[in-house]
Structure 1
Amino acid sequence: MIIVKTIQEEKSNLIAKGDVTLPFQGLEPEGRMLVDSDGAAFVYLLAHGEEFIHLRFEESTWQELHTYRTSAKPLFVQTVLKPVELTAFWDELDFLLDNIKGNQNYGKEFVEKADEIFELNSGED
């Protein structure tokens, strides 16, 4: 598990920097995300051989995600070798946010936090 600490703009891309350095060779994006509603995180799946690595975007990064969400800039995770693009990240995040909106199955506290930061109910009549 890797926790993203910050997201930085570099040229026309975004770089997610984790709490550990990723020295992995052969790290592949899965193009899928999960929600950890108890831990208040969006989790992007990365494959490393037969294993999955969870790249966690916890609440401390949600404002950055909200800020960059409409930019459609490619998001990469920094590794020692080279950045790895998190394919389908924005599509997956949008899909999850659409499902979270008003859905108490994610837990009231999680839904309220997501609504507050991502403005899920803005534009409703």
Structure 2
Amino acid sequence: MITITSIEAEDKKLLAKADVSLPFHGLEPEGRMLVDSDGSAFVYLLAHGEDYVQLRFEEKTWNILNTYHEAEWPIYIKTGIKPVELVDFWTEFEFLLDNIEGNHNYGKEFVEKVEQVFLAERSEG
């Protein structure tokens, strides 16, 4: 598991930086996301050979994700070699938000956090 520590906007794209250096070759975006509701994180999957690398977008990154959610700027993970685009990130993210909204199967606390950050405008509008 790799935790995203920060996300920076640059030239109409987002660069996610991780808690570890990612210099290795062969990272392939899976175009899939999961949720860790106990850990309050959205998890993007990258393939690395036969294994998966989980990129954790924890609460500290949620405000910037919310800022660029509607614009859907492409998001990349910074590696030592070249940035890797997290394909289908926003499609998967929107799918998860739609499923999480009002669904306490994800845990009441997690749902409330997600709704407060990402879905407040929906309920107001």
Common topology (TM > 0.5) = yes
Which residue of 2 is the match for residue 14 of structure 1? 14
Cα deviation for residue 5 of structure 1 reads: 0.8
Q: Which has the higher helix share?
A: 2
SS at match of 2:122: coil
Which residue of 2 is the match for residue 41 of structure 1? 41
User: Is the CA contact (8 Å cut-off) linking 1:76 and 1:83 kept in structure 2?
Assistant: yes
Alignment map for 1:47-66 (pairs within 5 Å): 47-66=47-66
User: For residues 109 and 32 of structure 2, what CA distance do their matches in structure 1 show?
Assistant: 24
1:7-59 CA distance string (max 9 Å, x none): 10111211000111101101000000000000000000000000000000001
User: Is the CA contact (8 Å cut-off) linking 1:97 and 1:120 kept in structure 2?
Assistant: no
User: For residues 13 and 121 of structure 2, what CA distance do their matches in structure 1 show?
Assistant: 28
Cα deviation for residue 123 of structure 1 reads: 3.8
RMSD: 1.3
Identity among equivalent pairs (%):
60
Q: Which runs of 4+ in 1 moved over 3 A?
A: none
User: For residues 56 and 84 of structure 1, what CA distance do their matches in structure 2 show?
Assistant: 15
Amino acid at match of 1:14: L
TM-score normalized by structure 2?
A: 0.96
Amino acid at match of 2:114: A
Question: Does 2:86 align with 1:90?
Answer: no
Which residue of 1 is the match for residue 24 of structure 2? 24
Matched residues, number: 125
Question: Does 2:109 align with 1:106?
Answer: no
Amino acid at match of 1:98: D
Cα deviation for residue 121 of structure 1 reads: 6.5
User: For residues 119 and 45 of structure 2, what CA distance do their matches in structure 1 show?
Assistant: 25
Compare 8-17 and 100-109 and name the one that shifted more. Answer: 8-17
User: For residues 24 and 47 of structure 1, what CA distance do their matches in structure 2 show?
Assistant: 12
Q: Which residues of structure 1 form unaligned runs of 5+?
A: none
Which residue of 2 is the match for residue 5 of structure 1? 5
